[in-house]
């Protein structure tokens, strides 16, 4: 690997001059600068990023910890964060916790040791008892998507309860009275808030959702499929299902088809997230959209501000959802 000394020898300049060109630390005469750049290219010189980060006390990297990189919603969030970070001159290291708390904490420790400048975290698992790993003052942190009660860090999330209300309102306005809900795992805060909003809207409109009509899935299409089959086999009156994410809604549509029911003629299905695949599904999925691009951009902005001023009071941003009407919902038969 070429060194600055090699570059200096080839360009006929001092090592100090090469350093000024590489690090843009002092103006260099254009003719000399051009000779150095040509030498850098000819020798395929690459800066020692670690050494440079140690000198400047920053690495220009941001850690991103996700619970499931295979979930399209999290993948789209990751893309929005990477785009926002790149526009500010930062690279992103993506870590997949697979929904495990110990993996999440290990990644936090690793990113701290690797001198990441900050971390964006989408929390996994049940509520924390010990929050010390998240409140390490040496590692600026912003959480996205999930609220963390009692944790004093910046956060960006959506109004999940209002999103659930929007779903209920739409199905009730279509005339549905026999509804069911496929929730996420019991420990996932956003799913619980969506179910709460859904039930509250029903109650305020004079309807109820019995406990047996609320089933917990895994956020994967297989669970949406299995739960929908059981619901439809148990109650032939069911005309609409609200799934707390789009993947489970996809499974619900497939289960209905396998049981000879048409969506939306016999059964309406409504999802949550509005992942890109939702508009290309058959039928295109009616869903509650999350502002993924805005969430990622705001998370990066908060993180950069926190990195610049660790003494800032924690900020908690709550964004709006919107209902996206497509072809998977219709009036009941």
Chain segment 181-215, per-residue pLDDT in tens: 999 998 888 999 999 999 999 999 999 999 999 99
- Taking domain 160-290, whether its CATH number is 3.40.50.2300 is answered by yes
The two domains 4-47 and 57-159+292-320 share their CATH topology (first three levels equal): no
Chain segment 264-305, per-residue pLDDT in tens: 999 999 999 999 999 999 999 999 999 999 999 999 999 999
Containing 93, the helix (H) or strand (E) segment is: strand 91-96
Chain segment 106-128, per-residue pLDDT in tens: 999 899 888 899 999 998 766 66
Q: DSSP class of residue 333?
A: -
> How far apart are the C-alpha atoms of 205 and 18, rounded to whole Å?
72
Please provide the DSSP assignment of 24-44 as one string: T-S---HHHHHHHHHHHHHTT
> What Å distances lie between residue 136 and 61, 97, 130, 318, CA to CA?
18, 19, 12, 24
pLDDT of 22: 80
Residue 282 vs residue 133, higher pLDDT:
282
CATH of 4-47, one of 1.10.260.40, 1.10.10.60, 3.20.20.70, 1.10.10.10: 1.10.260.40
Looking at domain 57-159+292-320, which CATH architecture does it have? 3-Layer(aba) Sandwich (3.40)
Using a pLDDT cut of 70, give the percent of the chain over it. Answer: 91
Residue 138 has pLDDT above 80, yes or no: no
Question: Shortest CA distance to 121 belongs to which of 141, 139, 101?
Answer: 141
pLDDT, average across residues 147-168? 90
Plot region of 57 (φ>0 → left; ψ -120 to 50 → alpha; else → beta): left
List the domain boundaries for the chain: 4-47, 57-159+292-320, 160-290
Q: DSSP class of residue 128?
A: P
Tell whether pTM > 0.75: yes
pLDDT, average across residues 25-53? 77
pLDDT, average across residues 216-230? 97
Q: DSSP class of residue 5?
A: H
Task: Please state, rounded to an integer, the average pLDDT across all residues of the chain.
Answer: 90
Please provide the DSSP assignment of 130-165 as one string: --TTT--TTS-EEEESS--TT--SEEEEE-HHHHHH
pLDDT of 128: 62
> How many helices and strands (H and E) does the chain possess?
11, 12
pLDDT of 43: 87
* Tokens 């990297």, residue located: 61
Helix (H, G, I), strand (E, B) or coil at 85: helix
> How far apart are the C-alpha atoms of 291 and 84, rounded to whole Å?
14
* Tokens 């739960």, residue located: 227
pLDDT, average across residues 49-68? 70
Using a pLDDT cut of 90, give the percent of the chain over it. Answer: 68
> How far apart are the C-alpha atoms of 149 and 259, rounded to whole Å?
42
pLDDT of 236: 93
């Amino acid at each position: 690997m070429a060194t600055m000394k090699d570059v200096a020898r080839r360009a006929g300049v001092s090592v100090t001059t090469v350093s000024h060109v590489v690090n843009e630390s002092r103006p260099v005469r254009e003719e000399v600068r051009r000779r150095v750049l040509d030498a850098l290219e000819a020798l395929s010189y690459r800066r020692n990023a670690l050494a440079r980060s140690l000198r400047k006390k920053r690495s220009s990297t941001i850690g991103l910890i996700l619970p499931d990189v295979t979930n399209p919603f999290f993948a789209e969030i990751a893309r929005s964060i990477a785009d926002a970070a790149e526009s500010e001159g930062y690279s992103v290291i993506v870590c997949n916790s697979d929904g495990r708390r110990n993996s999440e904490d290990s990644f936090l420790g690793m990113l701290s040791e690797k001198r990441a400048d900050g971390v964006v975290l989408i929390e996994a698992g049940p509520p924390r008892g010990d929050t010390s790993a998240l409140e390490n003052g040496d590692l600026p942190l912003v959480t996205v998507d999930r609220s963390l009660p009692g944790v004093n860090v910046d956060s960006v999330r959506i109004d999940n309860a209002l999103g659930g209300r929007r779903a209920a309102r739409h199905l009730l306005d279509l005339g549905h009275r026999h509804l069911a809900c496929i929730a996420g795992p019991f420990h996932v805060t956003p799913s619980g808030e969506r179910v709460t909003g859904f039930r509250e809207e029903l109650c305020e409109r004079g309807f109820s959702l019995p406990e047996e009509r609320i089933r917990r899935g895994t956020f994967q299409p297989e669970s949406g499929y299995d739960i929908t089959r059981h619901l439809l086999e148990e109650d032939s009156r069911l005309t609409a299902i609200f799934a707390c994410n789009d993947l489970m809604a996809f499974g619900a549509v497939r289960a209905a088809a396998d049981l000879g029911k048409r969506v939306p003629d016999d059964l309406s299905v409504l999802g949550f997230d509005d992942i890109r695949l939702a508009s290309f599904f058959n039928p295109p999925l009616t869903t509650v959209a999350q502002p993924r691009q805005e969430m990622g951009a705001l998370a990066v902005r908060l993180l950069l501000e926190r990195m610049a001023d660790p003494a800032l009071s924690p900020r908690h941003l709550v964004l709006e959802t919107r209902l996206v009407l497509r072809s998977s919902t219709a009036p009941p038969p």
